[in-house]
C-alpha cells in the first residue's frame, strides 16, 4: 500500500526538494502544504494521481484542520508528517526585536506544535506514523546572532524529545533532523541590524545574512534525499539526524563539552540532593 507523506513549507528550500523526491516515487503519496498554492506550480510537472496540494499557514489552526481533512479524504491516512516550515532571524540577543522574535516562536515552535497536534489523532487511530521535525544544528549548539532562532530550535528539540516517549507505545516514531546551514532562501530571513557599537563585530554577519548571499555548505537537495533515505530505510529511525560536517562536528563539540562539565561537577552536584 502507498505511504502518504504530509510536508509543511513546500514552496521552497528543503520542503520543495523533498516534495520533488516524493512526487517522483510511484508508491508514495504527497500532501504538499504551502501558504500560497501558486508556489506549488512546480509540482504540475509530476503525475497528479498521488499529489494533493493544500493551503496551510502553520499559525492558522483552521487551515491546518482543513488541510489534514483534505489529505486524509484523498489518501485515507497520513504515514509521515514532516514539520519543515520555519523562519530564520539574525540579530544579537540584546538588539533583536521582540515582535519579530514572537513571530519566530509562533511559526517555528507553536506552528510545529499545531500541525503535530492535528496529525496525531490520525496516527493514533492508524496505530502507526513517523513525525520528522526539521530542527537545526543550532537547536543543539549556537552562534552569535542566532540566539533567538536557536531558542526556537531548542524548543523544537525539546517537544519532540518528550513526544517520542509519550507515543512510543502507540506505534508512532519521532525523529529530529539537524542540518548544517544550507543554500536556501531561509538565509534571507529577517534581521536586527547592529546599532550598538559594542556589537559591531557582528554587523557583517547580520548584513550578509540579510542579503541572502550564503557560503553555507548544506545542499538542500542532498539534505532532502538523506532525510527520505533514512526515513524509508529498513531499520529503526534515529532520534537525531545531524546532516553535514558542520552539524555533526558542532553537535559532537557541544555534547562533549557539556559531558566534560557534567563529569567535572559530578561530586558537587550530588550534594544537592536531600540525604536519604
Ligand atoms: N537553510 C538553512 O541553513 C537551515 C539549516 C537548518 C535548518 N533549517 C530549517 O529548515 C526548515 C526549512 O527552511 P529552508 O532552509 O528550506 O528555508 P526556506 O526556503 O525559506 O523554506 C521555509 C519554508 O517555510 C515556509 N513558511 C514560513 N512561514 C510559514 C508559515 N507561517 N506557515 C507555513 N509555512 C511557512 C515557507 O513558505 P513561504 O514561501 O510561504 O514563506 C517555506 O516554504 C526551517 O525549519 C529552517 O529553520 C534551515
Whether 100 is covered by a domain: the verdict is: yes
Whether 255 is covered by a domain: the verdict is: no
Query: Is residue 9 within 6 Å of ligand 1 at its C-beta?
Result: yes
Give residue 9 CA to ligand 1 midpoint distance, Å: 6
What distance in Å separates the CA atoms of residue 167 and residue 227, rounded to the nearest whole number?
Answer: 21
- Find all residues with CB under 8 Å of 13, minimum gap 6, and list them: 84, 182, 184, 185, 186, 220
Structural domain boundaries, residue 206: 3-248
CATH number for position 178: 3.40.50.720
Whether 168 is covered by a domain: the verdict is: yes
pLDDT surpassing 80 at residue 2: no
Q: Is 122 left (phi over 0), alpha (psi -120 to 50) or beta?
A: alpha
Stretch 192-208: mean pLDDT: 93
What distance in Å separates the CA atoms of residue 15 and residue 6, rounded to the nearest whole number?
Answer: 10
Task: For CA atoms 195, 196, 200, 202, give the dihedral sign.
Answer: negative
Q: What pLDDT shows up at residue 211?
A: 73
Whether 266 is covered by a domain: the verdict is: no
Which residues partner with 218 through β-bridges? 182
Q: What pLDDT shows up at residue 72?
A: 97
| HSE value, Cβ hemisphere, 13 Å, CA-based, for 189 | 28
Pick the catalytic residue from 11, 96, 135, 180. Answer: 135
Query: Is residue 247 within 6 Å of ligand 1 at its C-beta?
Result: no
Catalytic residue flag (residue 199): no
Catalytic residue flag (residue 211): no
Judge contact between 219 and 227, C-beta under 8 A. no
Q: What pLDDT shows up at residue 186?
A: 81
Least confident of 156-165, 173-182, 202-211, 220-229: 202-211
pLDDT surpassing 60 at residue 80: yes
Q: What pLDDT shows up at residue 187?
A: 73
Catalytic residue flag (residue 46): no
Q: Quick one: pLDDT band at residue 1, thresholds 50, 70, 90?
A: low
Whether 263 is covered by a domain: the verdict is: no
Q: Which of 275, 276, 258 is nearest to 266 (CA)?
A: 258
The overall average pLDDT reported for the chain is 95
Least confident of 64-68, 120-124, 140-144, 185-189: 185-189
- Find all residues with CB under 8 Å of 99, minimum gap 6, and list them: none
Q: What pLDDT shows up at residue 213?
A: 62
Buried b (16+ CB within 10 A) or exposed e, 25-55: beebbbbbbbbeeebbeebeebeeebbbbbe
* Count: domains in the chain: 1
How many angstroms from the chain centroid is the CA of residue 77? 22
What distance in Å separates the CA atoms of residue 24 and residue 46, rounded to the nearest whole number?
Answer: 7
pLDDT surpassing 60 at residue 62: yes
Nearest-5° angle of CA 16, CA 22, CA 27? 165
Query: Is residue 216 within 6 Å of ligand 1 at its C-beta?
Result: yes
Phi, psi of 225 (to 5 degrees): -65, -40
Q: Measured from the CA of 85, which atom of ligand 1 is nearest?
A: 24
pLDDT surpassing 90 at residue 29: yes
Amino acid at each position: 500500500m502507498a505511504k502518504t507523506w504530509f510536508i509543511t513549507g513546500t514552496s521552497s528550500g528543503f520542503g520543495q526538494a523533498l516534495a520533488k523526491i516524493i512526487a517522483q516515487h510511484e508508491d508514495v503519496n504527497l500532501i504538499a502544504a504551502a501558504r500560497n498554492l501558486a508556489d506549488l506550480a512546480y509540482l504540475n510537472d509530476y503525475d497528479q494521481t498521488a499529489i494533493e496540494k493544500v493551503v496551510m499557514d502553520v499559525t492558522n489552526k483552521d487551515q491546518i484542520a482543513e488541510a489534514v481533512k483534505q489529505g486524509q479524504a484523498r489518501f485515507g491516512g497520513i504515514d509521515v508528517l514532516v514539520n519543515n516550515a520555519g523562519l530564520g532571524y539574525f540579530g544579537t540577543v540584546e538588539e533583536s526585536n521582540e515582535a519579530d522574535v514572537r513571530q519566530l516562536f509562533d511559526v517555528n515552535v507553536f506552528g510545529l506544535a499545531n500541525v503535530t497536534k492535528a496529525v496525531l489523532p490520525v496516527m493514533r487511530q492508524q496505530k502507526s506514523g513517523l513525525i520528522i521535525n526539521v530542527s537545526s544544528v543550532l537547536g543543539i549548539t549556537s552562534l552569535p546572532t542566532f540566539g533567538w532562532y536557536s531558542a526556537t530550535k531548542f524548543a523544537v528539540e525539546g517537544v519532540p524529545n518528550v513526544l517520542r516517549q509519550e507515543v512510543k507505545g502507540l506505534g508512532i516514531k519521532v525523529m529530529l533532523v539537524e542540518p548544517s546551514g544550507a543554500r536556501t532562501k531561509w538565509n534571507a530571513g529577517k534581521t536586527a541590524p547592529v546599532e550598538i557599537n559594542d556589537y559591531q563585530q557582528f554587523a557583517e554577519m547580520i548584513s550578509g545574512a540579510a542579503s541572502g548571499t550564503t557560503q553555507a555548505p548544506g545542499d538542500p537537495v542532498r539534505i532532502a534525499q538523506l532525510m527520505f533515505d533514512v526515513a524509508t530505510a529498513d531499520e529503526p529511525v534515529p532520534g537525531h539526524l545531524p546532516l553535514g560536517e558542520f552539524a555533526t562536528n558542532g553537535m559532537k563539540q557541544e555534547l562533549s563539552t557539556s559531558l566534560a562539565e557534567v563529569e567535572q561537577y559530578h561530586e558537587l552536584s550530588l550534594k544537592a540532593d536531600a540525604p536519604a
